[in-house]
Structure 1
Amino acid sequence: MTYTTSDTAHVLLALAILLATAHGCGHLFARLRQPRVVGEILGGMVLGPTLLGAVAPAWQAWVFSSRTATGFVLGAVYQVGLLLLMFASGTEVRSTFESGERRTAVLITVVGTLVPFVGGLWFFGWFDLQVFIGPANNTTAFLLVLAVAMAVTSIPVISRIMLDLGILSTPFARIVLSAAVLEDVLLYAVLAVTLGLVGNRPDDIVGLPALLSLQRNPTMSTLYHVAVTLAFFTLALAAGPSLFQRAARSRLNVIHRSSPTAFLLVVVLLVSGISLVLGVAPLFGAFVAGILAQTEDAQLQQAQQAIKQFAFASLVPMYFALVGLRLDLSTGFDVAFFVALLVYASALKSASVYVGARWAGERPVGARNLAAALNCRGGPGIVLASLAYDAGIVNGAFYAMLVLLAVVTSIAAGSWLEAVVRRGSALR
């Protein structure tokens, strides 16, 4: 492909429009005390087929899809933005296990993850969901995506909500983040296995799965991805932090001595690459890299903040805007079914968290607030939808429903906690 000066100008225009719209809408929602990510997604929807594509389809297509080069660059921004988002999410794990509320967090995790997960599988039997299965035509993968969508909780969005409300340092916030971390590590492992089940197209097979010719044996492919995913997370979380500390302190580490920020970026890329070679989606490598980067080193902490500041100023907002850009609510969107999905998923998640919190000895008011907070699906819910759509597990209509499920539950969680704080009511 020949890349011309005209292509460069076109790419820069598309990126400028995308970034400006994402930040403009994100800022508007932040002023309304709503999650910024919701505004960024809706900004993308404004630029996509749902709104701009319906009003001025020729102009919308000219900006975002008329040139191959623009598609390639936007695809790269989407992937790198996702990696940096997952790295930032992984770093949130650092401060979540320092409190003494582990019993509550563990019980909430067990009940609040297992019940919605099983409930998601049960939901499949109530409705004819075959129409929502994507081109991969894998019912097992679809079931797992649906189950994860019911159970997932957003670390980045709920932590940002609590930061904006000034409650991030409270015991309530520590319980929420601890439970969210435990839930997401478990559910991301399930999602990694799910993606492995459908990674059977010749152009999708790289690394060890390609060397072992797993695409020829679906049973072995399933067993391989289950075993490798569990081994990857277990070994990385058990041995990774000490290896990271040794590498960071090594006198031979010229990268860290030159630039701690560059060292962290190399770690993100390296761990993501290793996960890809093993057959695990690279975003999980980035998530693990964020967890591994646990350090008291002031330089590395500053480097983490530098990466986050750059990511959340540029690539991450554009990632969420691109998620919205791909949504098309003008065709094939079943409003009645979405409402049923939203009510069922929210009731199931909230009720299970409430039961887990009460079982742990929380007062009713605390259990209600925990239930509202942990029903926030936010970023992970959107990532789940994007990955499932990219892998062909779900079709465009169900992708839109999963994204909107994450958006609406994030708004609900933010509104609930904002009302509690505004009234001066107790969180627990």
Structure 2
Amino acid sequence: MYIKNVESIIYCSLILILSFFAFIFFNAKLFNTKIPKIILYIIFGIFLGPYSLNVEDWFELHRVGARIGEIYALSNVALGFLIVTSFSNIRSAEKQVDLKSLTSYMAGTFAALLLALSTSHIVLRIAPGLTFPSQTVGEERATILVLALAVIVTSVPFLTKIFIDLKMIGTTFSSTVLVSACLLDILIWAVFPISDVLRTQSQFDLLPVLTSLVMTLTAAGALFLVTFSLVKLYDTWAQRHESRQIGIAFIIAVSLAAALTSASLGAGLLLGMLIAGLCLGRAKSIAENGMPFLAKLAQWIFIPAYFILVGRGLVFDNAISIYDIAVFLLWSSALKIASVTVTHFLMSKNARQSFLNGVVFNTRGGPGLVLATVAYSMNLINVNAFSAFVVASILTAPVTELVLRYRADHAKTSTVGDAALEGTL
């Protein structure tokens, strides 16, 4: 590739190196603060953004789209391994999943999806900046589907991190929430390719839509069977030949292979990582050997790297509408929280607990950011919608952490004690 200026390379390299060491100091000093660390990582990424623009000039990457593509590729690696390591925590308590609660969570999310699909056109009238000015009927349908999926997306990695930090991992509540979130994200990435089909249609045709969905589900099912078989064979071998190094290498190889295979089949990188996590998380030898190391790596490298890259991506030349972002944030959060709250209340008859669950399932986090970058890079949404998705993903995650932390502290100081963490939470 053509390099324009050697001096600028040296200058920017020094900036990046100094920024890296500043971040280590920054992370260590603020590690025990009450401020959500994700917010701090994003702020650091925003600070890094203007300097890193010069780095892109070396390779003549002048377009915002190219920048988003670069960030998407890098951040998916970090997010993917966060997802994979999350599943070892689901496995440890999979027998404690509350099927009634899981059903209520899924029903609430489906209700939110249907409400989002039926009210999206109203939102686009209230906030026209969320869509392109001159769209065909097919393109508008595709945008509406993406908006609806952005409402129901739920973050497995971030919820796992919160549950680990609050020592809630392994409770019935955390296991049920994580399994539900996993199923929802698999559904989202199975449905997402339909948006590309919709925008090419002048009149709605159900057959291509069903064909796309069936092909994606078939590809995902085949990938799951192959990955599950490989993991089972390795697990049998590893029980006789324990090796942490081989376990780590196997996890990385299987995760990347599943992600690349899924992407090549048109299903997206994240679906492959979800499938890899489901399979790898069930293997006892992998959970005991490779996963603990990767989980620590995720905590100290993948999480900061991912959200720093997110902050770095929040620099645009276009004017962004705060009004449109606020409309999307309020609309999507109201639908998701209300739907899950109502369906869970019908089962539990506990309004406070049901509202808490609604807030938890409103956590978009990393998967919401990936949905934003993929949809934006495919020109399915404009820069305002992209920014709205990003802001919603960023804000809902710390809110969930603060709410659960308050609830956990309240449970510990109540007369119910630890039972509250196991039951109510």
Q: TM-score, normalised by structure 2?
A: 0.79
Question: Contact 1:105–1:175 at 8 Å: present in 2 too?
Answer: yes
Question: Per-residue deviation at 1:223?
Answer: 5.0
Structure 1 position 245, deviation (Å) = 0.4
Q: 2:113 aligns with which of 114, 117, 132?
A: 117
Report the Cα offset of residue 349 of structure 1.
Answer: 1.1
C-alpha change, 1:294 and 1:379, in structure 2 (3 Å) is same
- 323-332 or 375-384, larger mean C-alpha shift: 323-332
AA aligned opposite 1:147: A
Q: Does the CA contact (< 8 Å) of 2:87 and 2:277 recur in 1?
A: yes
Q: What is the one-letter code of the residue matched to 1:66?
A: D
Distance in 1 separating the partners of 2:259 and 2:6: 32
Match for residue 417 of structure 2?
none
> Does 1:230 find its partner at 2:209?
no
Check whether the contact 1:45–1:324 (CA below 8 A) recurs between aligned residues.
yes
The answer to whether residue 90 in structure 2 is matched with residue 99 in structure 1 is no
Question: CA distance change for structure 1 residues 257 and 34 in 2, over 3 Å: closer, same or farther?
Answer: closer
Q: Is the 8 A contact 1:21 1:40 kept in 2?
A: no
How do residues 3-14 of structure 1 correspond to structure 2 at under 5 angstroms?
13=14
Residue in 2 that maps onto 1:203:
none
Task: Measure, in 2, the Cα distance between the counterparts of 1:196 and 1:24.
Answer: 48
1:142 is aligned to 143
- Cα distance in 2 for partners of 1:7, 1:306 equals 38
Give 1:286's aligned residue: 273
Partners of 1:330 and 1:69 lie apart in 2 by: 16
Instruction: Determine if contact 1:351/1:371 at 8 Å carries over to the other structure.
Output: yes
Match in the other structure for 2:292: 305
The verdict on how the C-alpha distance between 1:325 and 1:230 changes in structure 2, with shifts beyond 3 A counting, is same
Q: CA deviation at 1:147?
A: 0.5
In structure 2, the gaps of 5 or more residues are: 62-66, 415-419
Q: Distance in 2 between matches of 1:382 and 1:24?
A: 27
Name the structure 2 match of 1:175: 176
Q: Secondary structure at the match of 1:293?
A: helix
Q: Which moved more, 1:25-34 or 1:367-376?
A: 25-34
What is the SS of the residue equivalent to 1:160? helix
The aligned counterpart of 1:264 is 251
Alignment of 1:37-48 (within 5 A): 37-48=38-49
Match of 2:162 in 1: 161
Paired position in structure 2 for 1:151: 152
Q: How many Å apart are 1:97 and its aligned residue?
A: 3.0
User: 2-side partners of 1:135 and 1:270: how far apart?
Assistant: 40
Q: 1:31 corresponds to which residue?
A: 32
Structure 1 pair 157/194, CA: closer, same or farther in 2 (3 Å)?
same
Give the superposition deviation at 1:122: 2.8
* Distance in structure 1 (CA, Å) of the matches to 2:380 and 2:18: 30
Kindly state the Cα deviation for residue 237 of structure 1 after the two structures are TM-superposed.
4.2
> Which residue of the partner structure matches residue 211 of structure 1?
none
Match 1:402 to one of 389, 395, 405: 389
1:281–1:47: structure 2 CA closer, same or farther, 3 Å change rule? same
Contact 1:154/1:379 (8 A) holds in 2: yes
Check 1:246–1:132 CA distance in 2 against 1; reply closer, same or farther (3 A cut). Answer: same
Using the TM superposition, give the Cα deviation of residue 329 of structure 1 relative to its aligned residue in structure 2, in angstroms.
7.2
CA change 1:135–1:15 in 2 (3 A) is farther
Aligned partners of 1:6, 1:223: CA distance in 2, in Å?
55
Where 2:95 maps in the other structure, the secondary structure is: coil
Q: 3-state DSSP class of the match of 2:96? A: coil
Deviates more, 1:323-332 or 1:102-111: 323-332
1:349 corresponds to: 336
Please show how residues 313-328 of structure 1 align to structure 2 within 5 Å. Answer: 313-328=300-315
> Pick from 61, 64, 73: which aligns with 2:53?
61
**Paired amino acid for 2:121:** G
> Residues 143-184 of structure 1, C-alpha deviation per residue, up to 9 Å, x if partnerless?
121101111221211221222222223332233223222322
SS, match of residue 412 in structure 1: helix
Output one character per residue of 1:283-327: Cα deviation in whole Å (capped at 9) or x when no partner. Answer: 321221111113443355321232333344334422322222222
Separation in 2, partners of 1:382, 1:290: 19
Q: Would the alpha carbon gap of residues 158 and 20 (structure 1) be closer, same or farther in structure 2, given more than 3 Å must change?
A: farther
Aligned to 1:369: 356
What is the number of equivalent residue pairs in this alignment? 398
What SS is found at the alignment partner of 2:57? coil
Change (3 A) 1:276 1:33: same
Percent of aligned pairs with the same amino acid = 24
CA distance in 1, matches of 2:19, 2:370: 19
Q: 1 CA distance for matches of 2:24 and 2:119? A: 37
Whether contact under 8 Å (1:116, 1:352) holds in the other structure is yes
Q: How far apart, CA to CA, are the structure 2 residues paired with 1:368 and 1:401?
A: 24
* Unaligned segments of structure 1, at least 5 residues: 54-58, 201-217
The letter of the residue matching 2:98 is E
Kept after mapping to 2: 8 A contact 1:86/1:284: no
Give the whole-Å Cα distance in 1 for the aligned partners of 2:338 and 2:225.
Answer: 33
In the superposition, relative to structure 1, how do residues 231 and 398 fare at CA in structure 2: closer, same or farther (>3 Å)? same
Distance in 2 of aligned mates of 1:311 and 1:197: 37
Residues 79 and 364 of structure 1: CA distance in aligned 2, closer, same or farther (over 3 Å): closer
RMSD: 3.8
